[in-house]
Amino acid sequence: MALPPLLHLRDIRLRLGSTQLLDGAEIAVSAGDRLALVGRNGSGKSTLLKIAAGIIEADAGSVFIQPGATIRYLPQEPDLAGFATTGAYVAAGLGPGDDPHRARVLLEGLGLTGEESPENLSGGESRRAALARVLAPEPDILLLDEPTNHLDLPAIEWLEQELGPLRSALVLISHDRRFLERLSKSMVWLDRGTTRRLDQGFAHFEAWRDQVLEEEEMQAHKLARKIVREEHWLRYGVTARRKRNVKRLSGLQDLRKRHRERITAPGTVRMAASEGDASGTLVAALEGVTKAFGDAPPVVRDFSTRIMRGDRVGIVGPNGAGKTTLLNLLTGALKPDEGRVRLGASLEMVTMDQTRDSLDPATSLQSALTGGSGDQVRIGGEVKHVIGYMKDFLFLPEQARTPVSALSGGERGRLMLARCLATPSNLLVLDEPTNDLDLETLDLLQELLAEYSGTVIVVSHDRDFLDRVATNVIVSEGNGAWQDYAGGYSDMVAQRGRGVQAKARAAAAAAAAERGTVEAPRAAAKAKMSFKDKHALESLPARIALLEKEIGLLQKALADPALYTNDPPGFAARSNLLAKKQAEREAAEEDWLRLEMLREEIEG
């Protein structure tokens, strides 16, 4: 029996200018739901989430929220203005009765102290503070718009572990396939203003979506054939039977109207890289390279590697590990303090930076593609009109004079790709290319990189993208140490026995490895209990006692023989709740025992 919805958006309609963005969209969210909201860039996903959060109002439709239900919304670009510290910002999101200790625990888990000034935060740090703010109250519903953007791999994996057991219902917008696969249980596909729902996780979504589009194409083909048959009748059969076939003629006119007004599936990005002359067999070689800044410890220490023509190299590590420094050493943009860097012959390099800083906000989309001269671009040795090239990347002709500042994050990402791919190259350097791109565009980018005859060096936190693209992965081991592993991200994890760790933990692991004490990281972790562990140790006894009380009341209710006879659904609900509470008590007791043993070990 389906649970009643906590949140229900029904027949939502919204027009932006001349575009009908939402045309009958619907979302129903019940307790415990794990919904992923997917769709092309510009389809209205973020807008629909803002309507659910009450930030904007639809032109038509209804929004129902269960009385007393709490909702928290994570925007793509959090605004911390007006708050002195990150701690104050997070605390302001708490409601009456919410636990302030949980806010501190979340900030600590996300690598923040709560004392940071919002004015000095990076995009990733702002996102971490905003995540702590929405997670701390444990609301009934969490609306998360691209929660993994600007987060490094340790933070993404921490977030997955935090959201997994959370009691809140989730509605997620994300381009991170691995993140969606691990957290989603149902899919809502927003397509051409309307929504379709699949009550299965993301692993089943793409096959289902393709089947829906194939069926639409088949129906469109049948409609076109029917029009041809009716037009043949119109030409050769209507004259002799004019009066009794007026209705059929009217039906043909209706068919033509349906065919004209049929909303087709959005276009597909057409990508092709302008490839330059082949480079030499050797692209780059680093031999014993070390690089430091000032008196700080080396960012890269005694690192050697060779990159050959055709390699697809992924660079991964936590924020602050030095990925950009290593990238600049590999491409010759930075000279090492020690060691030697050799670059191959005939390199034609094109770089795409993750901050999109090379895009002038005031310039128009057309000027950004043509360099401000004329209305043509040269792709793969062929001259093409800029409007046609814009269409290949799903831009409308009327957007030609749109300033870059007015484009969405996804549109800026597509524009950067269009510029990079229009420049002849045999070495592509991509810094976080997957940011803000929708799933379909990511698929096409992966196919293009697979067919590209040159060399690719990519910095990315997208595990699925690295698995599909990379032939080898260079990962930070901490303390300036870097190691080259064959294969993609999952292959690297299998060889190392662990994924990418936060910067402090990676440094401790590297230092322990140098000393030959592999158990040192564990000992270091045990030297002091974290704030989270201390709080859990203090609060778990009360939690266990409350669970014991709830279990006793449920057992007493279920012992009444009349309950099953008079209220079978109520009996089933209480039985399920009892099993859940017993499992929670068992888990809480195990956590308390583990922490108590840890405390005794430290104090002893």
* pLDDT tens-digit map of 538-555: 888 888 889 888 888 888
Q: Does the pLDDT value for residue 342 go beyond 80? A: yes
pLDDT for the residue 141: 96
- The size of the chain, in residues, is 604
Average pLDDT on 451-474 reads 91
For the chain, report the end-to-end CA distance as a whole number of angstroms.
53
Percent with pLDDT over 90 in the chain: 40
pLDDT for the residue 531: 67
Mean pLDDT of the chain: 83
* Residue 117 CB burial class (10 angstroms; 0-12, 13-18, ≥19): exposed
Q: Does the pLDDT value for residue 475 go beyond 80? A: yes
pLDDT for the residue 525: 38
The one-letter amino acid code at 296 reads A
pLDDT for the residue 132: 95
Q: Does the pLDDT value for residue 397 go beyond 90? A: no
When comparing pLDDT for 457 and 210, which is higher? 457
pLDDT for the residue 234: 58
Rounded to a whole number of angstroms, the CA Rg of the chain reads 29
pLDDT for the residue 162: 92
CB 329 within 8 A of CB 322: no
Most confident range (mean pLDDT) of 17-21, 38-42, 141-145 is: 141-145
The structure tokens 């109207």 sit at 257
The CA-based angle 123-408-404, given to 5 degrees, is: 100
The single-letter DSSP state of residue 453 is S
Q: Does the pLDDT value for residue 445 go beyond 90? A: no
Q: Does the pLDDT value for residue 159 go beyond 80? A: yes
What is the SS3 string spanning 320-349? CCCHHHHHHHHCCCCCCCEEEEEECCCCCE
Q: Which pLDDT band holds residue 97 (cuts at 50, 70, 90)?
A: confident
C-alpha separations of 398 from 43, 299, 395, 407, 418 in Å: 18, 47, 8, 13, 17
Q: Return the structure tokens found at 360.
A: 């002038």
**Lowest-pLDDT range, 239-248, 479-488, 582-591?**
239-248
pLDDT for the residue 473: 94
Percent with pLDDT over 70 in the chain: 83
The one-letter amino acid code at 173 reads I
pLDDT for the residue 564: 75
Q: Which pLDDT band holds residue 215 (cuts at 50, 70, 90)?
A: confident
Q: Does the pLDDT value for residue 283 go beyond 80? A: yes
* Residue 442 CB burial class (10 angstroms; 0-12, 13-18, ≥19): buried
Q: Does the pLDDT value for residue 375 go beyond 60? A: yes
What is the pTM for the complete model shown? 0.71
* pLDDT tens-digit map of 514-523: 545 443 333 3
Which residues, at least 6 apart from 507, have a Cβ–Cβ distance to it below 8 Å?
A: 478, 479
String of DSSP letters for 76-98: SS---TT-SSHHHHHHTT--TT-
